[in-house]
Structure formats: structure tokens, C-alpha cells
Amino acid sequence: MSAPIDSPTRVTMPPALTPERPVAWPKRTVRTLGNGLQVVLAESRNFPKISAQLFFRSGNSLVALTKPGLADMTAGVVRAGTASRTSRQIEEDLRRMGAGLGSHSGADISAISAAGLAEFSGGILELIADLARNASFPEDEFERERRQRFEEVRVERTTPGFLANERLRAELFGGHPYSVVAPLPEQVAAYERADLQEFYRQHYVPSGSLLIVVGDFAAEDMLERIEKIFGDWKAPEAAVPEWPAPPHIHGRRVHLVHLPGAVQTQVLLGNLGINRRDAGWFELVLANAIYGGAFHSRLVLNIREQKGYTYSPRSSLHSLRQYGYFSVHAAVRNEVAAATLTEMFYELDRMRSLPVTSEELESAQSYLTGVFSLGVATQDGVLGQLSTIYLDRLAADYLETYRERVRRLTAENVMEAARAHFDSANAQIVLVGDRHVIARQAVLFGEVTEYNAPG
Amino acid sequence: MSSSPKKLHIPVEHTTLSNGLRVVASPDRSAPVVTVGVYYQIGFRLEPRGRSGFAHLFEHMMFQGSENAGKMEHIRLINSSGGVLNGTTNYDITNYFESVPSNALERVLWLEADRMRALKVDDENLRNQRDVVKEEVRVNVMNQPYGGFPWLDLPPIAFRNWPNAHNFYGDFHDLDAATLADVQAFFHAYYAPNNAVLLMIGDFEPAEAFALAKKHFETIPPQPLPPRADVSEPPQTEERRGHVEEKFGPLPAMAIGYTIPPRESPDWFAAAVLDPVLHGGRAGRLHRKLVLEDQIAVDLDGGADIFETNGPTQMVTRIFHKPEFTADQTIAVFDSVIREVQEREIPAEELDAVKVKLRSDFYSTLEGGMGAHMPRFGLMHYLACFTLFDGDPGRVNGILDGFTGVTASQVQAVARKMLVPKNRAIVLRQPSNLGGAQ
């Protein structure tokens, strides 16, 4: 190895950053087919793979108040058979193309995604199209899937993180469909095959839907191929309603979910807020990074690195189609459940009362902008960013301008965002744990309502 | 309709510094980011007897401060450079890694060198991280349905030699017994440049990256390394079974493990192909039979970490089955699938498909592998394992040929040899309240 060698003196100060190299934001090819399907392509040619995802703008919120989880159940059975392929053929076709496939629904979307070797791009896209257009919902596959889900739901309902999230969403969203995150076992048992077929018929349509493909291909060739595979697919656009606003919540309340035998308390608090389409989103992202959204944030420093209450405290912003919400969580030893809440609120109120230091501000800005560029260095990362942009219908230059929009914010912007969206006075508090151990701590923070874990 | 397969070639350069530190670089200028890691050849298999969980507790201490970077400085410096960091403890390695914009490469190297040179921690740091680790164990194991299943459940049943068979996360009384003197002794024993490999992946010129590595690491003195613990297992003569109570979850579960052949042996390659024949998602024979066809199980997956271990390792199948079936009924159907691969060669079409999937999965791992913000983590991880265990990071470009060359008769032969009762262990994870929580 011949290279210039520095003298071997010890360097006792962290070296300065060298000049930044520009990020090459992925070039997008965007086209809407005649049938209304929006296609977004990005080349990423380091690895001979492709990653594709087809999104429909209908998810569990459409059925949350009537048949919770039905959209996700539909997505699950979509992969279990088409007019020309049995379930087994689908799985074997995937393996032959080195591909993996997922189909699921979130609150606002249903999606079919597949990733595999670029040499099988055509076959992978044809399979996605077959599932999207010709799913046959075989009776036996439906029954099998329903039983599997029934058991999965029973397991889910013994998981502290799930139980906390389910309760918080119910409290924050009241009668809005976002209030229901998952079905009860008996609701799964009541699913009928015809309900799935109806959801599929109405919502798995090209118009208004979105196909994103990232990977090792030439965009022009890929576009031509997609036109051939998806171009003759016709169906009327699905209507997605706007629901009335969730109720305003006044005052902190405590919701204690009793999990017998719990050796830890799952603490979760949150309040309603904005989503990514709101003009104040970037300010809030920055405030969240300083409060509890990064390893080097106030919350983590306080309750993990100073006090040792917990392993993985974090705060998060959740952006849904209609609304968003802010939440803070930590799994803590039972004796410090109240002390944890005290610190969470202290740090929230500090963000609302005092400007952050310039060192904190710059550090968080560098963190967000750096991590953003890390996030587009893989095919899946690019796919994730593009899905955010095109599902939320954000500005076409979102990628290119993100870092500038974060960098120009001030400490005053951060405090304003915290005042507006860290609503500590009206936050809803969820504690999942053994009531016999934590009830006396719970009452310190407001009126307590108790729930039993298994529903 | 498919185009011809492209063969991937990963550029790999490596050197060894005068203090024994191995340095591996893989340039990739497509994005202005780098992923850097230091891998030490010490894992929970090799932690001191009577100090279960110590290797992992120690990993936490490596974030608590070093000679010139105090507590939280490591995290602050990386986050404020626009990057993310983490560390993990594994059977035979402990790793520390960062992904950052490439203009922070030297800063990352400085930090990693600083903590390789000298750890600077005190009793308060130790108390703090002991508390944090206990909450980690509670949140991941003690307060979760199926926590620790089966990675903590199976080894004590499958193995007899303490390094392979103890509680890797640590008994709380062992964690409590750990002292600062233990921490420093462990550091001096294992955290030496001659027991590690430094990896740099991404946006740099290799010559510059090697020069920076030399500048920051070469003055760290090497240490005499302790003799490697004997991790060999005494011969197993019959199937081993054990039970673990499931406190929360309503479903009976089990894990079935078979010890795989030694690393890089011909049988090891065959076992690596056999693994996805059996597991391999929903096309795998076990999932197809137990979940899709017979519908005894509601979930089944499994596999072996073939690259990242360097000692007795199992290929493990995890099964969650319906409460109306007994464990024995479930095992009987599992065994019928095992008999099939022993009695008949797998068809050529299936063998080819499995190899295609192996290649595809290998590429996916190289590209990403640890969340959305650690580009090429998988490549780094494999390069580290190939360097530390096989002495050759260039294996990353040849290893697939080893799998491609495996024949159907070799798969059948390894199935007959490996998938036998005296090479397997079963743990039954049974709900204390079968039928679900009330």
C-alpha cells in the first residue's frame, strides 16, 4: 500500500468535517397511464435487483368502524390465488425469480410489493399485476388465512407495545376511523369471503393508484414494459371519504391497561397533531428530533443515559392522510413509571417554554439532513421516500429541497412548533402494566380509567 | 421472459497494519455516504464463566466514554455529523458501526480509534448501563410474549459446553456482580487492534481511506490475546428436549434445531442450500406442509446464520401451532417433511430455484441489511465475518459459487447426516394458560 502517511502523533480532538460532496438525488420518471395509474420510476444500478410497490389509496380506515382489519385481510388473501395461478404456484414463481412479496393494508393504503432479481423484472411486474387484477380468493385459502389471523390477533393482544398503541389511538381519535388499529379475534372470525371480494373489486383499481419501481433498469424500457403489463387495466376510481374531525380533548387523562404479571410498564403518551402536508411540518420534525426523536435527544439523555429508567425511549410523529399525532414512549421498570412521566412532561414543557440552544439546533439540523441522504442510498430507501412524496402528493422537489427547508429553521420556529403541537396539558397517557403494581403511580397524573388487556 | 443474469463484483481491498489491525475497504462512489465498522473477535460465547451477559453489558460501556470523547460524545458527534450508530453483540463477534455522510469519515475513524485505545468509564456509567441493560432484557424478553424465543431458549437445551449453552443476555445477579475492574480487564483482553477488523464501505478513494486508518489506528499497541476458549461440544448421543413456560402468549410454540456442519466444509455449503429448501418462506417445504397444506401451524419460519458464527451453530425452525394439536402431532408432521428430503433427491427445478433465491437474498443483504439508514451494512458485516473467520474478505465475491456448485445428491446426503435425532434439540414453549389469557 503506498499512500501519503501522516506522522503517527495522537489526535486528541475530533477532526473537522471535510467539504460535503453533493447528493445525487434519484432522478424520477413520472408518467400517468391512460387508465389513471401513476407510475414513478427511479434507476438505482449498483445491485442487479428491482424493488416495486403498487399502492391503492384505500386502507383499513374504510372498514375500521364496521369490519376492522378487513382491508388487511383482503391484502393477505390477494396473494393466495389468481384466475391462472394457485397459491403454491405464486410462491414457486416468486422463488424462481429470486423474489419476495408482501401484501398488506395500513390505515390509508393497501399495497402489493415485490423485490427480486432485475433479470426477472418483467415476471415480477406481471405477478404484481396478476394479483392486483385477477385475485380469485379461493375458499380454502380464505378459511386458512382467517384462522391464522385469528391466532395472530390473540398473540398481538398480549404485546405491551401493541396494547398501548391501540389504547392511545382509541383515545385520540374518538369516533374517527383512525381510532381502531386492529380487529378483535371475534371480528376476524366474522369476516366473510364476499366482503373481501367486494373490497377488492371497489378498491384495487388503476385510477388514482401509484406504482413505484426502483432498481437496475433503464427507465424508458421499464416504462414501456409497464405500459404493456398495466395499460389495458380498466376500472372506475374508488371514492375515499373525508371523515369528520375527531373530538377536542380537554385535560390529561390516564388510561391504565391491566396486563397481569407484567414486569415492566409500557408508558405511552400523545396528542393529536398535524401531518406531513401541513405547512408547519418541518418545524415539528426538528422539534421532535431535539426532544426525543434521536439517540442524542433530550429525552434519551435524561431517562436513559442519566437515570437508567429505560432502554429505548423515543418520541415519534405519525402522519396519516387526514391527521397526524405525536407520541412519546418508553418501557420502564415498574417503580419509575411516575418518575418517567414526570421527566417526559418536564422535557415537553421545557421545549415549550425556552428556546433550544444553538448547539442543539445545529446538531439536530445536521442529523436530519445527513440521515436524509443516508436514506436514499439503497433501493428500499429510495422507494420509501418516493412513496412518501407521491402518496402524500408533496411537492415534486421535496427530495431536493428537504435539507434546505430544515437548515433555515430557527430556535424560535422550534419553540413555536412545540407550543402548537406538544400539547402536554391535554396529552392522553397510557400505561400498560400490572394494575396492582402501578395504580398508585397512575393516579398522580389525572383521572384513571382501567381496561383489561385481552379486550 | 428474463434477461441474462448479471454477475456482481464487489471491489475489496485490504491490508494489515503493523499492530495487527486488519483494514478492509470497499469503495462505492454512487452516494456521498460511508458505513464504517469495527468488529472485535469476542462475543457472548466467549464471555467469562460466571459472568453471563457480560459481553453485551460491555458493549454498552463502549458508548460511555473513551480517552478523548466523554459520555454521550460518541453519540453526539455521530448524530451531529448527520449519521447514525449502533453496536451489537453476537456469538463470536461484537461490532460497532456508523453510517455518515462521507465528509465525516475521518471523524468516525478518530472516534473508533479513541475507544479502541482507551476506555474511560466510571462506576456511575456502569450502574447506569446495568440499569439500561436490565430494561432491555425486560422489554425484549421478560415482558414480551415469546420473548427470547428461541434464541435464548434453545442453546441451554442443545448444548453442553458453557460457552454455547448459557444465558447470553445475562442473569440479573451476574449483571449485578460485574465490576469496573471486570470491564477494564475485558477491554484489555479482547479489545486489541490485533483482535479486530476495521471496515470502510462507500464514498472514498481507498488510498486515502487506508492512510486515514493508519493515521488514527496504527499507534494503538497490540496486546497478547488470551487463548481462545474451547467452544467444542461433546458428541451428542440422543435427541434433547426441554420446556420453557410462556407467560403471556396464548399459542403453543416450539423450536427445533439441528447443529450444522463446520464453516466452509463441503457439507456446510450443502446445508446452506438445504436450509431454504426447508424454510425459504412460503415456498419452503416446511411452511407449505405445516401451515398451508396440513394447517397444523399458524406460523413457521427458520434458518441458520451461516456466515456470522464460528462455532457450534444450529439451523432452527420456529413453529407456532394451533392449540388443538399436540406438540407430538406437530413434530410428527415436521418429521415427515424431513424424511422426504432424506429419501428423495430434490427435483432439479427446485434446486435451481433455491439457488436463484440464495443469490437474490445475498445481494439484498449486501445492499442494505440494517434498517433504512445503514447502506451496505450487510456488505460490511459479511466482509468482517469473512476476514475474521476465514482470513479472506474476498470470499464475498466467491462464496455464491460454493452454493451454485451444490448438487441434489449432496443436499440429500447432508439431510441424511445432519437431520437426525442425535443432532437435534427441541424446546417447547408452552403457555401457562393454554387457550389464551382471560
**Geometric angle at alpha carbon B51, from B45 and B54, rounded to 5°:** 65
Q: Which band of pLDDT confidence, cut at 50, 70 and 90, is reported for residue A253?
A: very high
Smallest CA–CA distance, residue B128 to chain A, in Å, is 5
Q: Are the beta carbons of A117 and B249 separated by less than 8 Å?
A: no
DSSP string, A377-405: SSHHHHHHHHHHHHHTT--TTHHHHHHHH
Q: How far apart are CA A59 and CA A69, in angstroms?
A: 9
Residue located via cell numbers 446464520: B305
Please name the amino acid found at residue A308. G
A447 plus A323 within the same structural domain? yes
Q: How far apart are CA A61 and CA A70, in angstroms?
A: 10
| Cis ω for the linkage preceding B150 (within 30 of 0) | yes
Closest CA to A373 of A400, A342, A392, A347: A400
DSSP string, B183-207: HHHHHHHH--GGGEEEEEEESS-HH
Q: Which of B8, B110, B138 sits opposite A333 (nearest CB)?
A: B138
Q: What is the pLDDT of residue B173?
A: 94
Residue A454 has pLDDT above 90, yes or no: no
DSSP string, B22-71: EEEEEE-TTSSEEEEEEEES--GGGSPTT-TTHHHHHHHHTTS-BTTB-T
Q: How far apart are CA A421 and CA A429, in angstroms?
A: 16
Q: Are B234 and B158 in contact (CB under 8 A)?
A: no
| Cα distances (angstroms) measured from residue A23 to each of A9, A15, B114, B375 | 33, 22, 29, 14
Q: How far apart are CA B402 and CA A289, in angstroms?
A: 46
Collect all residues with Cβ–Cβ distance below 8 Å to B245 and sequence separation of at least 6: B429, B430, B431, B432
Q: How far apart are CA A205 and CA A200, in angstroms?
A: 8
A280 in a structural domain: yes
Q: What is the pLDDT of residue A4?
A: 42
Q: Which band of pLDDT confidence, cut at 50, 70 and 90, is reported for residue A455?
A: very low
Smallest CA–CA distance, residue A281 to chain B, in Å, is 20
**Terminal Cα distance for chain A, rounded:** 66
A444 plus A368 within the same structural domain? yes
Q: Are the beta carbons of A148 and B101 separated by less than 8 Å?
A: no
- Running DSSP on this structure, what letter comes out for residue A82? B
A277 plus A423 within the same structural domain? yes
Q: Are A64 and A176 in contact (CB under 8 A)?
A: no
Q: Which band of pLDDT confidence, cut at 50, 70 and 90, is reported for residue A9?
A: low
Which residues share a beta bridge with A324? Answer: A273, A319
Q: Are A142 and A77 in contact (CB under 8 A)?
A: yes
Query: Using one digit for the tens of pLDDT, what is the confidence trace for B328-347?
Result: 999 999 999 999 999 999 99
- What is the average pLDDT score of chain B? 95
Q: Is B11 on the interface with A (CB under 8 A)?
A: no
Q: How far apart are CA B199 and CA A182, in angstroms?
A: 43
A194 plus A303 within the same structural domain? no
Using DSSP, state whether B147 is helix, strand or coil: coil
If phi over 0 gives left and psi between -120 and 50 gives alpha, with beta otherwise, what is residue A208?
A: left
Domain total of chain A: 2
Residue located via cell numbers 406531513: A276
Sheet with B33-40, edge to edge strand ranges:
B13-16, B22-27, B196-202, B33-40, B94-101, B84-89
Collect all residues with Cβ–Cβ distance below 8 Å to B64 and sequence separation of at least 6: B71, B119, B121, B125, B128, B129
Query: Using one digit for the tens of pLDDT, what is the confidence trace for B102-141?
Result: 999 999 999 999 999 999 999 999 999 999 999 999 999 9
Q: Are the beta carbons of A370 and B81 separated by less than 8 Å?
A: yes
Q: What is the pLDDT of residue A11?
A: 78
Q: Are A313 and A297 in contact (CB under 8 A)?
A: no
Smallest CA–CA distance, residue B274 to chain A, in Å, is 15
Q: Are B216 and B23 in contact (CB under 8 A)?
A: no
Residue A330 grid cell: 418508553
Q: Is B142 on the interface with A (CB under 8 A)?
A: yes
Q: Is B357 on the interface with A (CB under 8 A)?
A: yes
Domain end marker among A182, A197, A230: A230
Count CA atoms within 13 Å of residue A329 on its CB side.
19
Residue located via cell numbers 447443529: B259
Q: Are the beta carbons of B211 and A6 separated by less than 8 Å?
A: yes
Residue B228 grid cell: 481462545
Q: Are the beta carbons of A366 and B82 separated by less than 8 Å?
A: yes
| Cα distances (angstroms) measured from residue B78 to each of A159, A367, B97, B177 | 33, 8, 10, 32
A348 in a structural domain: yes
A313 in a structural domain: yes
A9 in a structural domain: no
CATH C-level class of B240-431? alpha beta
Q: How far apart are CA A156 and CA B146, in angstroms?
A: 11
Owning domain of residue A416: 253-452
Count CA atoms within 13 Å of residue B432 on its CB side.
9
Q: What is the pLDDT of residue B264?
A: 87
Query: Using one digit for the tens of pLDDT, what is the confidence trace for B266-310?
Result: 999 999 999 999 999 999 999 999 999 999 999 999 999 999 999
Domain ranges of chain B: 13-217, 240-431
A279 plus A426 within the same structural domain? yes
A101 in a structural domain: yes
Q: Which residues of B touch A332 (CB under 8 A)?
A: 135
Q: Are the beta carbons of A91 and B133 separated by less than 8 Å?
A: no
The secondary element (H helix, E strand) that includes residue A326 is: strand A324-332
A313 plus A407 within the same structural domain? yes
Residue A7 has pLDDT above 50, yes or no: no
A244 in a structural domain: no
Out of 3.40.50.2000, 3.40.50.800, 3.30.365.10, 3.30.830.10, select the CATH number for domain B13-217.
3.30.830.10
Q: Which of B81, B354, B437 sits opposite A366 (nearest CB)?
A: B81
Query: Using one digit for the tens of pLDDT, what is the confidence trace for B299-320?
Result: 999 999 999 999 999 999 999 9
Q: Are the beta carbons of B80 and A119 separated by less than 8 Å?
A: no
**Among B12, B79, B203, which would you mutate to test the A interface (most chain A Cβ atoms within 10 Å of its Cβ)?**
B79
Q: Is B143 on the interface with A (CB under 8 A)?
A: yes
A221 plus A261 within the same structural domain? no
**Among A117, A125, A186, which would you mutate to test the B interface (most chain B Cβ atoms within 10 Å of its Cβ)?**
A117
A55 plus A146 within the same structural domain? yes
Q: Which residues of B touch A139 (CB under 8 A)?
A: none
What is the bridge-based pairing of β-strands A38-43 and A210-215? parallel
Residue A8 has pLDDT above 70, yes or no: no
Q: How far apart are CA B352 and CA B359, in angstroms?
A: 11
Residue B184 has pLDDT above 90, yes or no: yes
Query: Using one digit for the tens of pLDDT, what is the confidence trace for B404-428?
Result: 999 999 999 999 999 999 999 999 9
Q: Is B344 on the interface with A (CB under 8 A)?
A: no
Q: How far apart are CA A79 and CA A204, in angstroms?
A: 13
Q: Which of B67, B107, B291 sits opposite A17 (nearest CB)?
A: B107
**Terminal Cα distance for chain B, rounded:** 54
Closest CA to B300 of B281, B323, B276: B281
| Cα distances (angstroms) measured from residue B180 to each of B57, B112, B116, B226 | 11, 21, 17, 20
Closest B-chain CA to A46: B30
A18 in a structural domain: no
Query: Using one digit for the tens of pLDDT, what is the confidence trace for A142-194?
Result: 999 999 999 999 999 999 999 999 999 999 999 999 999 999 999 999 999 99
Q: Are A363 and A297 in contact (CB under 8 A)?
A: no
Using DSSP, state whether B236 is helix, strand or coil: coil
Q: Are B204 and B28 in contact (CB under 8 A)?
A: no
Residue A18 grid cell: 471535510
Q: Which residues of A touch B8 (CB under 8 A)?
A: 47-48
What percent of chain B clears pLDDT 90, i.e. is strictly above it?
Answer: 93
Average pLDDT of the residues in A315-335 = 97
Q: Which of B67, B136, B218 sits opposite A311 (nearest CB)?
A: B136
Q: Are the beta carbons of B138 and A362 separated by less than 8 Å?
A: no
| Cα distances (angstroms) measured from residue A440 to each of A156, A164, A310, B135 | 27, 19, 20, 21
Q: What is the CATH number of the domain that holds A345?
A: 3.30.830.10
Q: Is B399 on the interface with A (CB under 8 A)?
A: no
Query: Using one digit for the tens of pLDDT, what is the confidence trace for B213-242?
Result: 999 999 999 999 998 889 999 999 999 999
Domain B13-217 shares a fold with domain B240-431: yes
Q: Which residues of B touch A12 (CB under 8 A)?
A: 67-68
Q: Are B430 and B287 in contact (CB under 8 A)?
A: no
ipTM of the complex: 0.95
- What is the largest distance, in Å, between two alpha-carbon atoms of chain A? 75
What percent of chain A clears pLDDT 70, i.e. is strictly above it?
Answer: 98
